[in-house]
Amino acid sequence: MKAVLRALAWALFCFSVPAFAQVVFDNPLVRQRADPHVTLHTDGWYYFTATVPEYDRIELRRARSLDALGSADAQAVWRKHASGPMSAHIWAPELHHIDGKWYLYFTAGRADAIWDIRLYVLENSAANPLEGSWTERGQLKTGRESFSLDATTFVHAGQRYLAWTQSAPETTRKATNIYLARMDTPTSIEGKPVLLSTPQYAWEQVKHEVNEAPAVLQKNGKVFLTYSASATDANYAMGMLTAAAGANLLDPAAWRKAPAPVFASANGQYGPGHNSFTTTPDGKTDILVYHARNYRDILGDPLKNPDRATRAQTVAWRADGTPDFGQPVPDRGRVASKPLFRDPVFDGAADPVIVRNPMRGTWWMFYTNRRATAPNLPGVAWVHGTRIGIAESRDDGASWAYLGTADITLPQGQDATHWAPDIVRADDGAWHMFLTVVPGVFTDWQHPRQIVHLTSTDLRTWGNAQDIKLASDRVIDAGVARLPGGGWRMWYNNERDRKSIYYADSPDLVTWTDRGRVVADQAGEGPKVFQWRGAWWMITDVWRGLAVYRSPDAMTWTRQQDNLLEQPGQGAGDGVIGGHCDVVVSGDRAYVVYFTHPGRSGADAKKDGMEQRRSVLQVTQLFQDGETLRVERDTPTRILLRAD
């Protein structure tokens, strides 16, 4: 009963209304960096270190703002040993400036015994920790030899303390606890450590019994020690201990432990924890820096997953002087590049489709790589002989880097033209591509084209090509979607029937039955069909922008009056109509990714030179107004593609 009352009191306490200065950050600040630690030094720089996914080195970087840390140069200041101590599991570095020197506290194991985890210290006397040399000061002894990690240090009432995580060697219980001791030097403790916290609540014992990663915040006459608990997946959460500033911090009875998490998964942020604290440059606003993933389900061991990313948000303060961490704020996304992407080979990117690559933890964009800058190509030969380019985004869609071309094997041979892929993933994990194929390179449009089905296990190499029998010998631009009741539907352009949109159904993505015409009110190509906000939507390229249709059942379609992207935009490469798009639905948002011909404007619009052939990819967010869609192409687009 007492435990229930304590939990109820804490819940009421957490719902009190805070007052604080709100600062919004461009989360995630640094991708694939866990266990973040930020130091705002007297020189005005934010110094940042964190665990790298390879667990093999310690990096430092600095920036004038937290938002700039992600783009700051990362310098490896120390690397693991080849063998012996400090040769495996390099974790949780923290940077502290003590008595005129810099110290890095970190965790490491041994290559021959990777779970023999202990605490170690590096020292640097340079004014700038990215300069000078780092000296190994050896193991930071805690008075007992057992699994030890996550050291932090702080000063209270003139005394420096060390807080850390360690398993109790005197028990067979596989749990990690929080300990505290005085420090007599920056590399050693004195006296007997005291146990402050052990996993006692159910929320601290999910999959593993864990209290780890202590961090200290001092304010309003109190000392707050946060820690993280449970497995390092979506169950990971922050707890908190509180002591009065005048108390004896080495007396466990001086600390009050919150019975419920103070910070847990919410708003698309999973497993928030292993935090540190800093402030705004003026020191007036406290900031929580932590890691979290932006998806819940993890394949394999969470410790081998690289996608914990560093995030930050302001700390609110209640009227009684205690912190209110609230919930993890949802990521806003980064402002997308303008243009979003240019192909570095032929500068002719068009017809995009975007999929998540779970093997790399990134997003891949496949596109028709038109040969816009190839010299001396007559007629429309530059649109033929094309391959499918691949670009990759590591920042949830805001920027893209060229990777090369898809390795596609076709019975039509190496001279075949590849156009307008669409890609979906089946329940068994296999990838399926639906590719428009033209059997050669031609100078006009009067030649057969068909849709070919291919499969892949890695998204890079595609084979098992099979022609799909559809309504005619002139079909292009497949768009495939999963049906709610099971099976799949393909929409495509039948050029033999006034470029009307047709459709076909399949139970397995291999065997298809053509169902005939579905949209014929106007010519169009590149049908993209998706579900969003309770309706089916189809967007087609009608060469004067993008037409939009709405359907309750993916069968009967009603066209909206206005086209998207018909009016030229003002951004770089966006001053013309938009064409052939993909739509990516991410949470409640939807983004339309389209191509433009930047050179087809002004007095030279009708010419057929390289500048007019050149095409780039752009992105803008979709907005719904009742039963219609609209875009704001001149508004900077904050894009956030979510893995779930």
Structure tokens at 116: 């023999």
On average, the pLDDT of the chain sits at 95
Beta bridge partners of 588: none
Query: Tens digit of pLDDT for each residue in 521-574?
Result: 999 999 999 999 999 999 999 999 999 999 999 999 999 999 999 999 999 999
Query: One-letter amino acid identity for 521?
Result: D
Sign for the pseudo-dihedral over CA of 112, 117, 118, 121 = positive
Which pLDDT score is estimated for 412? Answer: 86
Beta bridge partners of 94: 105
Distance CA 255, CA 241 (A): 6
Cis peptide upstream of residue 199 (ω within 30 degrees of 0): no
Residue in the structure block whose two tokens are 């006692």: 200
User: How many beta carbons lie within 10 A of that of residue 391, not counting itself?
Assistant: 24
DSSP reduced 3-state for 313: strand
Share of the chain above pLDDT 90, in %: 92
21 band by pLDDT with thresholds 50, 70 and 90:
low
- Cα 637 to its chain centre, rounded Å, is 16
Distance CA 225, CA 173 (A): 24
Least confident of 7-16, 82-91, 110-119, 221-230: 7-16
Cis peptide upstream of residue 439 (ω within 30 degrees of 0): no
Q: How far is CA 74 from CA 60, 61, 78, 596, in A?
A: 6, 5, 12, 36
Active-site entry in 26, 59, 212, 347? 212
Which pLDDT score is estimated for 643? Answer: 80
Sign for the pseudo-dihedral over CA of 275, 276, 279, 283 = positive
Q: Annotated catalytic, 204?
A: no
Q: What is the 3-state secondary structure (H, E, C) of 354-416?
A: EEEECCCCEEEEEEEECCCCCCCCCCCHHHCCCEEEEEEECCCCCCCEEEEECEECCCCCCCC
Q: Annotated catalytic, 407?
A: no
361 band by pLDDT with thresholds 50, 70 and 90:
confident
Which pLDDT score is estimated for 5? Answer: 43
Q: Is the pLDDT of residue 600 over 90?
A: yes
Query: One-letter amino acid identity for 384?
Result: H
Closest CA to 584 of 390, 364, 388: 364
Which pLDDT score is estimated for 597? Answer: 98
Query: Tens digit of pLDDT for each residue in 160-184?
Result: 999 999 999 877 788 999 999 999 9
Q: Give me the domains of the chain, ranges plus CATH numbers.
A: 2-324 (2.115.10.20), 334-639 (2.115.10.20)
Share of the chain above pLDDT 70, in %: 97
Residues 254-281 have a mean pLDDT of 97
Residue 321 burial (CB < 10 Å; 0-12/13-18/19+)? exposed
Which pLDDT score is estimated for 1? Answer: 44
Encode 119-142: b = buried (16+ Cβ within 10 Å), e = exposed.
Answer: bbbbbbeeeebbeeebeebebbeb
User: How many beta carbons lie within 10 A of that of residue 634, not counting itself?
Assistant: 14
- C-alpha dihedral over 626, 525, 396, 269, to 10 degrees? 40
Query: Tens digit of pLDDT for each residue in 128-156?
Result: 999 999 999 999 999 999 999 999 999 99
Q: Across the chain, how many H-helices and E-strands are there? A: 2, 44
Query: Tens digit of pLDDT for each residue in 474-502?
Result: 999 999 999 999 999 999 999 999 999 99
> Do 233 and 295 form a contact (C-beta atoms < 8 A)?
no
Which pLDDT score is estimated for 170? Answer: 79
Which pLDDT score is estimated for 10? Answer: 46
First to last CA, the chain: 39
> Do 619 and 339 form a contact (C-beta atoms < 8 A)?
no
Gyration radius of the chain's alpha carbons: 29
Which residue pairs from 372-379 have beta carbons closer than 8 angstroms and sit at least 24 positions apart in sequence?
372/346, 372/347, 372/348, 372/610, 372/613, 372/614, 372/615, 373/346, 373/347, 373/348, 373/610, 373/613, 373/614, 374/346, 378/443, 379/442, 379/443, 379/444
Annotate 559-601 with DSSP letters as a single string: E-SSPBT-S--SSTT-SS--EEEEEEEETTEEEEEEEE-TTSS
Distance CA 332, CA 312 (A): 12
User: How many beta carbons lie within 10 A of that of residue 557, not counting itself?
Assistant: 19
Sign for the pseudo-dihedral over CA of 247, 163, 306, 135 = positive
Annotate 486-511 with DSSP letters as a single string: SSEEEEEEEGGGTTEEEEEEESSSSS
Q: Is the pLDDT of residue 469 over 90?
A: yes
Closest CA to 389 of 358, 337, 343, 433: 343
Distance CA 68, CA 26 (A): 9
Residues 430-458 have a mean pLDDT of 97
Which pLDDT score is estimated for 14? Answer: 41
Residue partners of 631: CB distance under 8 A and separation at least 6: 564, 565, 592, 620, 621, 622, 623
- C-alpha dihedral over 467, 470, 472, 476, to 10 degrees? -70
Active-site entry in 26, 35, 395, 525? 35
Q: Is the pLDDT of residue 19 over 90?
A: no
Encode 271-281: b = buried (16+ Cβ within 10 Å), e = exposed.
Answer: bbbbbbbbeee
Query: One-letter amino acid identity for 133?
Result: S
Structure tokens at 159: 């005394």
E strands of 426-524, at which residues? 431-438, 450-456, 461-467, 475-482, 488-494, 500-506, 513-519
Alpha helices by DSSP H, listed for 261-367, are: none
- C-alpha dihedral over 566, 570, 573, 579, to 10 degrees? -10
Residues 209-213 have a mean pLDDT of 98
What number of CA atoms fall less than 13 Å from residue 287's CA on the CB side?
A: 26
User: How many beta carbons lie within 10 A of that of residue 630, not counting itself?
Assistant: 14
